[in-house]
């Protein structure tokens, strides 16, 4: 049995001072040194006790005695699954020493006195350091990489060097076998046609799969920072196909991947020549009185902005609005907020604010940093240390298919949403020549958030319920920003929460909500059916005389890769 060693108060204080100095040097964040001395001293005491326990356990382990570990990885931590991390005294020591140090840094971050934004910044960059420092990330301290090198006569090392050279040339880390997929061949394969295009987007209409369809069509506005086919990966996990199977006449915007000729495109252009143009064409093709709409992430922000403009113009073209993991209130933008401040936004405005292109690969790497232990370090280990080729995964193929953004649109979005949070304030912003107020959007809304979203914290998505003027149905799905949305109904996985009290705050809503098993897709389909406007015979042809189909889905815009 291992007993907790005693640690002197002087040693604890010395260690506390050392850790404070380290955090200041590493993060560049200024904080009050002695604002919360007790938590810091407690953390240091626990640290030194765990270190003494670890050394004692390592010595007994080395002579064949079994002792419990001083610390264990979290259940979801996949970095230390190999037997050597537990059975070998040296690797067990490396693992536990790393975890003890990581916990100490996290406790110190939580103990320092900072405002919320500075605390988030310190927390994020400390996490980046902790993730990078893992012994699993380095060849000489990774037992699996060493064994693979020995068993392959160092062929794995040569393969890793070749993989590294290829990734240097392509300026990104390979996260999937990109040769396994092709847009239009085995992803984005739902039957349909392009029925309209302009310089900014193509509009795709999908072929019906039911004898009768909703009278009102469904228009989907995907994010322009990614390609639309996340909603149409393969038949078994296609949100588009699911909607068509429910009797919806589905249209989707396929945003163009901007190049130099779109370098001066603005946020207003994305509304007027993008979302609002797509609504008008959809109505013209179907002859419906109104359209139902879906917007995901920044696509939801664009959709909400467009509806605010149309309401300011006293236009009533939309029967319902579904927002998927969308932020309208940017008070808490999550970890993305650490990249946004006045200096950064001003610098972007000076360089690309009037004309220019923000490269998709840079944006993609930012998103990878938000989940470094899922989207960076596992691929560093497998690609470079073990010399392996990434496996084929449709979602990661889409994730690697980055999209550029026009500089004026991007910088306007950064300043007015992330930096100044202007959209939530009635009349603060003017778009397309009119002041906008989200409260004037009296369209029924279905607002979906996801519990583990690292891009749109679910509480931030919940805030939309307090801004929109119509009847709102809020639903919280399990999992994260992507997996929580792409949760096929046929697989009946995970769960979601619904029917909570919207008169409360976010946590109060969750406390009053009912957890339901399976996918939120079926719940949404029932809600959407109530806004169908009746049923009609499925349309025999796509498009109409004015908007003839001229290219099979998924169209050519989506196939253009970012430079």
Whether 361 maps to a domain, the answer reads no
Mean pLDDT (the chain) is 91
Res. 96 pLDDT band, cuts 50 70 90: very high
Q: Are residues 425 and 291 in the same domain?
A: yes
Structure tokens at 434: 């009119």
Whether 364 maps to a domain, the answer reads no
> Are 325 and 450 spatial neighbours (Cβ–Cβ below 8 Å)?
yes
Whether 495 maps to a domain, the answer reads yes
User: Which 3 state secondary structure label does DSSP give 470?
Assistant: coil
Mark which of 101, 126, 151 sits at the end of a domain.
Answer: 126
Q: Are residues 218 and 326 in the same domain?
A: yes
Give the C-alpha separation, 246 to 255, whole Å.
25
Q: Are residues 412 and 553 in the same domain?
A: yes
pTM of the entire predicted model: 0.89
479 φψ region: left (φ > 0), alpha (ψ -120 to 50), beta (else) = left
Dihedral sign for Cα atoms in the order 495, 498, 500, 503: positive
Q: What secondary structure does DSSP assign to 357-386, as a single string? A: EE-HHHHHHHHHHHTHHHHTHHHIIIIIIS
What is the crossing angle of helices 276-286 and 298-312, to 10°?
80
Cβ-based neighbours of 41, under 8 Å, separated by 6 or more:
12, 13, 16
Q: Residues with catalytic annotation?
A: 297
Q: Are residues 462 and 547 in the same domain?
A: yes
CA of residue 42 relative to chain centroid, distance: 35
Give the C-alpha separation, 151 to 148, whole Å.
5
Q: Are residues 334 and 444 in the same domain?
A: yes
> Are 335 and 418 spatial neighbours (Cβ–Cβ below 8 Å)?
no
CATH number at residue 217: 3.40.50.1820
Of 3-7, 226-230, 328-332, the one with minimum mean pLDDT is 3-7
User: Which 3 state secondary structure label does DSSP give 223?
Assistant: coil
Mark which of 79, 101, 126 sits at the end of a domain.
Answer: 126
Residue whose pair of structure tokens reads 């007790």 in the numeric block? 38
Give per-residue pLDDT as tens, 105-158: 998 888 888 888 888 889 999 999 999 999 999 999 999 999 999 999 999 999
91 backbone dihedrals φ, ψ, rounded to 5°: -70, -35
Residue 32: predicted pLDDT: 45
Residue 172: predicted pLDDT: 86
Q: Are residues 547 and 455 in the same domain?
A: yes
33 backbone dihedrals φ, ψ, rounded to 5°: -60, -45
Residue 40: predicted pLDDT: 74
Q: Are residues 259 and 115 in the same domain?
A: no
Q: Are residues 205 and 350 in the same domain?
A: yes
β-strand pairing of 445-450 with 472-477: parallel
Residue whose pair of structure tokens reads 């401040």 in the numeric block? 341
Structure tokens at 415: 């300043």
Whether 147 maps to a domain, the answer reads no
Structure tokens at 126: 């400390």
Residue whose pair of structure tokens reads 């103990």 in the numeric block? 111
Give the C-alpha separation, 369 to 125, whole Å.
10
Q: Are residues 257 and 405 in the same domain?
A: yes
**Of 153, 168, 434, the residue nearest 314 (C-alpha):** 434
More confident residue, 12 or 197: 197
Give the C-alpha separation, 18 to 159, whole Å.
41
Q: Are residues 113 and 251 in the same domain?
A: no
Residue 56: predicted pLDDT: 80
Residue 129: predicted pLDDT: 95
Mark which of 126, 151, 180 sits at the end of a domain.
Answer: 126
**Percent of the chain's residues with pLDDT above 70:** 92
- Residue 260: other Cβ atoms inside 10 A: 11
Give the C-alpha separation, 226 to 406, whole Å.
13
Q: What secondary structure does DSSP assign to 166-199, as a single string? A: HHHHHTS---S-GGG--BTTTBS--SEEEEEE-S
Whether 178 maps to a domain, the answer reads no
> Are 341 and 419 spatial neighbours (Cβ–Cβ below 8 Å)?
yes
User: Any idea how long the chain is?
Assistant: 563
Q: Does the pLDDT of residue 34 top 90, yes or no?
A: no
Q: What secondary structure does DSSP assign to 69-83, as a single string? A: -S----TT--TT-ST
Residues spanned by the domain of 396: 192-356+387-559
The total number of structural domains that make up the chain: 2
Whether 428 maps to a domain, the answer reads yes
Q: Are residues 240 and 331 in the same domain?
A: yes
β-strand pairing of 514-517 with 495-498: antiparallel
Of 15-24, 35-44, 106-115, the one with minimum mean pLDDT is 15-24
Q: Are residues 409 and 290 in the same domain?
A: yes
> Are 272 and 238 spatial neighbours (Cβ–Cβ below 8 Å)?
no
> Are 436 and 290 spatial neighbours (Cβ–Cβ below 8 Å)?
no
**Of 553, 558, 540, the residue nearest 191 (C-alpha):** 553
Give per-residue pLDDT as tens, 383-415: 999 999 999 999 999 999 989 999 999 999 999
Res. 486 pLDDT band, cuts 50 70 90: very high
């Amino acid at each position: 049995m291992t007993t907790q060693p005693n640690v002197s108060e002087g040693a604890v204080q010395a260690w506390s001072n050392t850790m404070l100095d380290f955090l200041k040097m590493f993060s560049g964040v200024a904080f009050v040194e002695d604002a919360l001395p007790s938590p810091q001293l407690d953390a240091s005491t626990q640290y030194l006790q765990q270190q003494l326990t670890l050394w004692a356990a390592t010595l007994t382990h080395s002579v064949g005695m079994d002792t419990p570990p001083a610390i264990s990885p979290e259940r979801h931590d996949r970095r230390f699954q190999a037997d050597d991390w537990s059975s070998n005294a040296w690797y067990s020591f490396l693992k536990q020493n790393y975890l003890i140090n990581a916990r100490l840094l996290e406790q110190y971050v939580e103990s320092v006195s900072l405002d919320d934004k500075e605390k988030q910044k310190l927390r994020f960059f400390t996490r980046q350091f902790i993730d990078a420092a893992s012994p699993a990330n380095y060849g000489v301290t990774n037992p699996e990489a060493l064994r693979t090198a020995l068993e392959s006569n160092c062929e794995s090392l040569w393969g890793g060097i070749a993989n590294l050279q290829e990734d240097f040339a392509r300026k990104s880390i390979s996260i999937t076998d990109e040769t396994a997929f092709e847009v239009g061949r085995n992803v984005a394969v739902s039957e349909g046609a392009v029925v309209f295009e302009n310089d900014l987007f193509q509009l795709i209409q999908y072929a019906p799969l039911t004898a009768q369809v909703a009278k009102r069509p469904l228009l989907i506005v995907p994010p322009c920072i990614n390609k639309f086919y996340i909603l149409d990966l393969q038949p078994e996990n296609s949100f588009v196909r699911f909607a068509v199977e429910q009797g919806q006449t589905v249209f989707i915007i396929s945003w163009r991947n901007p190049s130099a000729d779109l370098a001066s495109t603005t946020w207003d252009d994305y509304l007027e020549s993008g979302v609002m143009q797509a609504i008008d064409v959809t109505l013209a093709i179907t002859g419906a009185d109104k359209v139902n709409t879906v917007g995901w992430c920044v696509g939801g922000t664009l959709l909400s902005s467009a509806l605010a403009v149309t309401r300011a113009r006293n236009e009533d073209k939309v029967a319902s609005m579904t927002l998927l993991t969308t932020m309208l209130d940017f008070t808490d933008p999550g970890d993305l907020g650490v990249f946004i401040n006045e200096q950064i936004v001003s610098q972007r405005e000076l360089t690309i604010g009037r004309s220019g292109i923000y490269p998709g690969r840079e944006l993609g790497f930012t998103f990878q940093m938000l989940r470094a232990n899922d989207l960076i370090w596992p691929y560093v280990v497998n690609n470079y240390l073990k010399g392996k080729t990434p496996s084929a995964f449709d979602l990661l193929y889409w994730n690697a298919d980055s999209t550029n953004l026009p500089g004026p649109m991007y910088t306007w979005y950064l300043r007015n949403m992330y930096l100044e949070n202007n959209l939530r304030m009635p009349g603060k912003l003017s778009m397309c020549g009119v002041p906008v107020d989200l409260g004037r959007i009296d369209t029924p809304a279905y607002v979906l958030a996801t519990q583990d979203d690292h891009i749109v914290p679910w509480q931030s998505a919940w805030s939309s319920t307090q801004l929109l003027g119509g009847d709102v149905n809020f639903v919280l799905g399990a999992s994260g920003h992507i997996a929580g949305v792409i949760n096929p109904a046929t697989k009946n996985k995970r769960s979601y929460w619904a029917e909570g009290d919207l008169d409360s705050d976010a946590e109060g809503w969750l406390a009053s909500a009912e957890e339901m098993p399976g996918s939120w897709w079926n719940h949404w389909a029932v809600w959407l059916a109530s806004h169908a406007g009746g049923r009609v015979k499925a349309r025999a042809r796509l498009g109409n005389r004015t908007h003839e189909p001229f290219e099979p889905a998924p169209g050519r815009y989506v196939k253009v890769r970012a430079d």
